[in-house]
Amino acid sequence: MKKGYSLLVVSDDSQVSRSFFLSRRNMIIGGAIIAALLIVAVIAALNYATVYVRAVEAEVLRRRNAQLEEEFAKVEEIRENLRVAEASSRKIKVMLGIEKTPEVVEPTIAEISPNYTTIEHLIEMPENIPSLLPTMGQISRQFSPGHYGIDIAAPQFSPVIAAASGSVIATRWDSLYGNCVLVEHNKNYSTFYGHLNTIDVLRGSRISAGQVIGTVGSTGKSTSPHLHYEVRFRGESVDPMGYLPFFVKF
């Protein structure tokens, strides 16, 4: 006789309706299956909890990265604003002739020269600072070592104007720059204009800022019509772009 357990299903009137016999072997197998299902359910729940925690961490990291990117963009904007402000400050310094560190001057108080210069004469007038674009065109070559000015490509016969008021100290032919003009604006500044087609001013004449001094050409060593323009500060060539108005874009 098989050993096991009988399960009786009794109706409400106490009559046996059905009987089920479970052997010990089947009960052990059933118990093992239930235990295995419980273990699988526990493992699945643990895995789900781990995945959920990682998903939450990933969302937190995503939001943090978004905040960092926003903060980084603000830092870059501030850095760009500082760069623009620094560039503007440098242009102003260059225009005023104070970009370079001034030489140390030892004070002398023992005597005063009768030929002293008043402070009004030491201040450079705005019209004597070369801040005008000498001709309308496209900058085809920038200031660089070995090229002591900028080249402005423009149609032939385009007018060339003086970048500031001053005196014409030279009008000549040069083997490199062709027809050229040199204008002295004050003791610090002078400007040079090369490759001119025509020269419309005389040596020694006084000119005003914006006055036409010649026309664009391709004289000298030149492959196409353009103006070679230099700004010289105390005899040394400096970048003319530092003197142009801020609203001029190239």
pLDDT in tens, 87-130: 666 666 555 554 544 444 444 444 444 443 333 333 456 668 89
Digit-coded pLDDT (tens) for 31-43: 788 888 888 888 8
Query: How many residues does the structure list for the chain?
Result: 250
Digit-coded pLDDT (tens) for 121-168: 334 566 688 989 999 999 999 999 899 999 999 999 999 999 999 999
Helix (H) or strand (E) holding 32: helix 24-96
pLDDT, residue 109, reads: 40
Report the alpha-carbon angle 89-93-99, nearest 5: 120
Compute the distance between CA of residue 60 and CA of residue 211 in angstroms, rounded to an integer: 67
Check: pTM over 0.75? Answer yes or no: no
Give one DSSP letter per residue of 180-196, joined into a string.
EEEEE-SSSEEEEEEEE
Choice between 141 and 13, residue whose per-residue pLDDT is larger: 141
Residue 100 carries which DSSP code?
S
Stretch among 39-48, 153-162, 175-184, 210-219 having the lowest mean pLDDT = 39-48
pLDDT, residue 217, reads: 95
Query: What six digits make up the tokens of 72?
Result: 């980084």
Confidence at 62, pLDDT banded by 50, 70, 90: confident
Judge whether 227 and 214 are in contact, CB under 8 Å.
no
Compute the distance between CA of residue 204 and CA of residue 31 in angstroms, rounded to an integer: 118
Give domain limits for the chain. Answer: 4-79, 128-241
Query: What six digits make up the tokens of 244?
Result: 């142009």
Q: Is the pLDDT of residue 198 over 90?
A: yes
Compute the distance between CA of residue 165 and CA of residue 185 in angstroms, rounded to an integer: 6
Compute the distance between CA of residue 180 and CA of residue 170 in angstroms, rounded to an integer: 8
Amino acid (1-letter code) at residue 169: I
User: CATH code for 128-241?
Assistant: 2.70.70.10
Burial of residue 223, with CB atoms counted within 10 A of its CB: 0-12 exposed, 13-18 middle, 19 or more buried: exposed
Judge whether 163 and 150 are in contact, CB under 8 Å.
no
